[in-house]
Amino acid sequence: MQGAAVTRRRGQRPGHSATTAHFQAAYPFQGQGGLGAPGVYIGADAFGGAWVFDQWELYERRIMRSPNIVVLGEIAFAKSTWIKTFLYRQFLFGRQSFVIDIKGEYLPLAEAIGVSPFVLEPGGSMRLNPIERRGGRKGQLTLLRSVAMASLRRHLVPEEEAGLRVALDQCNDEAGSADPTLPNVVDVLLHPREPMVAGVSAASGPEFAAANRELALALQRLCDGDLKGIFDGQTSAGIDLDSPLIVFDLSAMGDSEALGVLATCVGAWQQAVLRERKRVSDETGIPMRKAHCVFEEVWQVTPNIGVAEWLQANFKLCRALAISNILSTHKLTDFDTAGDKGSRAVRIAQNLVPDAGCFIIHRQSPDQREVLRDDLGRSETEVELAMGLDVGEALWVMGAYSTLVQQRSSAREREITFTDQQMGANPPGFRPTPTEIARTGG
């Protein structure tokens, strides 16, 4: 009643006033969702708030120390769904994406954006020249080395290193204003010109050719062997380098040994394009367009030393080339099996892990407990959580920070990312029409 004295019960204390800085100590499990940086919507975080993410915005604020992302998850727990949905949403903000698609699953996303994948197959209509002059002579030689190592499935010996260097210079001279091609390189290695012989101080042309014969024959496979018609000429017209999504479909190779060679050549071409963009940016002062470089199921090809070297270069050059590498695999220990134990391919693959700025961890098998604890520094609570995640749930880890996120997808996105057609299943959220129910009897 107004004007009446306030009677305080026994044990009751006056209210306490404090700042919001003190409030977080009083309620330690309450917090704001997100990281305070703009980005595309992903879903709901553990606090029920909207979780948004953009790796470049977070890197600029030093929340992520690298824009590279590693996505982990068992089969059928939506790691691929997250990647495709993320690219689809980033497209709306002007981000570009390069995708090396070894399973042939990116057609629906490409169609949704309004582009067509480039299908690379022996004897097909699409060609890429992995040694174009884009990016300068140094970049050209680096990419040619990667292609050579991928073809040989080993490192180059000193004679081959020197032979490849003078062969490239000779091909550039002979090509004039055009780009040299792999058949040109094979030709000069098998039939060395006098300047090449003098350039490596070889005793004679036959001696040079003998020292580089294995290298020449390995590269010849890309011109006349089972990969003929893909890398043996100039790049086909029609590739729009400004397209928001560039997908290279390598699924025609299945899981053959040639897949690693094919992936390396595509990666070499892609890196040449990015190096050329950097050169133009350096000359004009106009910032480069930011782009994603996506490689799913990377475990299938990292045993190839050429692929491993290319991935290492892409990870190291992410800041210089304004790219974010997004790799997916089932579990972290897949990087330990990228070749023979102790091999350079394994060491390179393992070193990709500390160069990642974000880990998106979907459901993990129990044998990953120790790895998540020791290699990623996760707590017992986080490790236990990772073992029981449901479809679409993921533990997001950026340095010492982590949170649980439930991905949200629209009906259109579920159509784009659905991959179980061959199993006779329907997309998530599918509702049959009365006609379909009558036709199927249920």
For every residue of 63-102, DSSP letters joined together read SSS-S-EEEE--TTSSHHHHHHHHHHHHHTTT-EEEEEES
Residue-level pLDDT at 14:
58
Q: Mark whether 261 and 403 lie in a shared domain.
A: yes
- Answer yes or no: is 433 within a domain: no
Q: What is the mean pLDDT of residues 414-434?
A: 58
Residue-level pLDDT at 440:
33
Query: Can you give the CATH number for the domain in which 165 is found?
Result: 1.10.8.730
- Answer yes or no: is 428 within a domain: no
Residue 434 has pLDDT above 70, yes or no: no
Q: How many CB atoms lie within 10 A of CB 423?
A: 6
Query: Can you give the CATH number for the domain in which 318 is found?
Result: 3.40.50.300
Q: What is the mean pLDDT of residues 367-396?
A: 94
Is the Cβ–Cβ distance between 54 and 38 less than 8 Å? yes
d(CA 8, CA 3): 15
Residue-level pLDDT at 277:
93
Domain endpoint, select from 182, 206, 239 = 239
Comparing C-alpha atoms, which of 371, 296, 400, 306 is closest to residue 345? Answer: 306
Model confidence at 432, pLDDT cuts 50, 70, 90, reads very low
- Name which residue leads in pLDDT, 253 or 204: 204
- Name which residue leads in pLDDT, 361 or 150: 361
Residue 290 has pLDDT above 80, yes or no: yes
Residue-level pLDDT at 394:
97
- Answer yes or no: is 220 within a domain: yes
Domain endpoint, select from 197, 214, 239 = 239
d(CA 287, CA 234): 29
- Answer yes or no: is 23 within a domain: no
Residue 433 has pLDDT above 70, yes or no: no
Residue-level pLDDT at 259:
86
Model confidence at 94, pLDDT cuts 50, 70, 90, reads confident
Across the chain, mean pLDDT equals 86
Q: Mark whether 214 and 304 lie in a shared domain.
A: no
Of 133-137, 288-292, 422-426, which one has max mean pLDDT?
Answer: 288-292
Residue-level pLDDT at 430:
40
- Name which residue leads in pLDDT, 288 or 9: 288
Of all residues in the chain, what percent carry a pLDDT higher than 70? 86
**Residue 431, SS3?**
coil
| Low-confidence winner among 214-223, 297-306, 391-400 (lowest mean pLDDT) | 297-306
Of 186-190, 299-303, 343-347, which one has max mean pLDDT?
Answer: 186-190
Residue-level pLDDT at 18:
63
Q: Mark whether 252 and 353 lie in a shared domain.
A: yes
Q: Mark whether 154 and 287 lie in a shared domain.
A: no
Q: Mark whether 267 and 341 lie in a shared domain.
A: yes
Q: Mark whether 234 and 267 lie in a shared domain.
A: no
Q: What is the mean pLDDT of residues 65-89?
A: 95
Residues 6+ apart with CB under 8 A from 302: 308, 311, 335, 338, 339, 345, 348, 349
- Answer yes or no: is 2 within a domain: no
Model confidence at 345, pLDDT cuts 50, 70, 90, reads confident
Q: Mark whether 165 and 192 lie in a shared domain.
A: yes
Q: In this structure, what token pair is assigned to residue 103? A: 């399973």
Residue 315 has pLDDT above 80, yes or no: yes
Q: pLDDT tens across 204-221, in order?
A: 999 999 999 999 999 998
Residue-level pLDDT at 392:
93
Q: How many CB atoms lie within 10 A of CB 242?
A: 7
**Which letter does DSSP use for residue 295 in this model?**
E
| Low-confidence winner among 28-42, 184-198, 203-217, 269-283 (lowest mean pLDDT) | 28-42
Residue-level pLDDT at 10:
52
Q: Mark whether 298 and 407 lie in a shared domain.
A: yes
Residue-level pLDDT at 431:
43
| Low-confidence winner among 200-204, 208-212, 278-282, 425-429 (lowest mean pLDDT) | 425-429
Model confidence at 425, pLDDT cuts 50, 70, 90, reads low
Rg (CA), the chain: 27
> How many folded domains does the chain comprise?
2
- Answer yes or no: is 27 within a domain: no
Residue-level pLDDT at 72:
96
Domain span including residue 367? 35-115+245-420
Residue 173 has pLDDT above 80, yes or no: yes
Q: Mark whether 306 and 257 lie in a shared domain.
A: yes
Q: Mark whether 413 and 333 lie in a shared domain.
A: yes
Q: Mark whether 280 and 152 lie in a shared domain.
A: no
Domain endpoint, select from 213, 239, 265 = 239
Tell me how many degrees the CA angle 140-146-148 measures, rounded to the nearest 5: 100
- Answer yes or no: is 40 within a domain: yes
Q: Mark whether 133 and 79 lie in a shared domain.
A: no
Q: What is the mean pLDDT of residues 229-238?
A: 89
Model confidence at 90, pLDDT cuts 50, 70, 90, reads very high
Residue-level pLDDT at 86:
96
- Answer yes or no: is 19 within a domain: no
